[in-house]
Amino acid sequence: MNLKYIVSYFGLVPFFYLVVDGYFLEFLDINFILDIAIYMACIIFTFIGAYNWDFKKNNFYLELYGFLPSLISIIIIIFNMLGYSKVFLINSVVIAFLAQLIVDLFITMKQIFPTTYYLKLRIPITASLSLSLILISYLV
């Protein structure tokens, strides 16, 4: 198995722990669980967007698409700091992950930026991450 796959799947471990702690162990404060889930999800969302940066292609739309997750993430983090509903923000991140996956599928199908091996990794990880975030949002 490729090291990228192993590292990517290890990125789910903190989310699984937050779910287990929130429902069974109760070591962590619920607000901490919600905050850390939002921040970690935004970091992952930003990294996934950065994957689409390909400066060799000089494609404005692809570069903009790669930048948007960073912008969306910073907006979600600011809204979290301003006290907006954490459940709404977590659900927003889930929607953003799923929308990004759909666009990535489209980009791959149109062969604008072929990422078939990448999608084999993204689909199960995005599904697992989204499910974990949804379970975390129900802790409130």
pLDDT, tens digit (0-9, with 9 covering 90-100), for 83-92: 999 999 999 9
Q: Is the pLDDT of residue 36 over 80?
A: yes
DSSP letter at 112 equals: S
Confidence of residue 115 (pLDDT cuts 50, 70, 90): low
Which of 15-19, 27-31, 84-88, 99-103 bottoms out in mean pLDDT, i.e. has the lowest?
99-103
Q: What is the rounded average pLDDT for all residues in the chain?
A: 89
The CA distance from 7 to 10, in Å, is 5
Give the pLDDT confidence score for residue 131 in this predicted structure.
97
- C-alpha 19, offset from chain centre: 16
Confidence of residue 5 (pLDDT cuts 50, 70, 90): confident
CA distance from start to end of the chain: 38
Give the pLDDT confidence score for residue 59 in this predicted structure.
75
The CA distance from 22 to 33, in Å, is 7
Give the pLDDT confidence score for residue 110 in this predicted structure.
78
Confidence of residue 41 (pLDDT cuts 50, 70, 90): very high
The CA distance from 92 to 72, in Å, is 10
Give the pLDDT confidence score for residue 52 in this predicted structure.
65
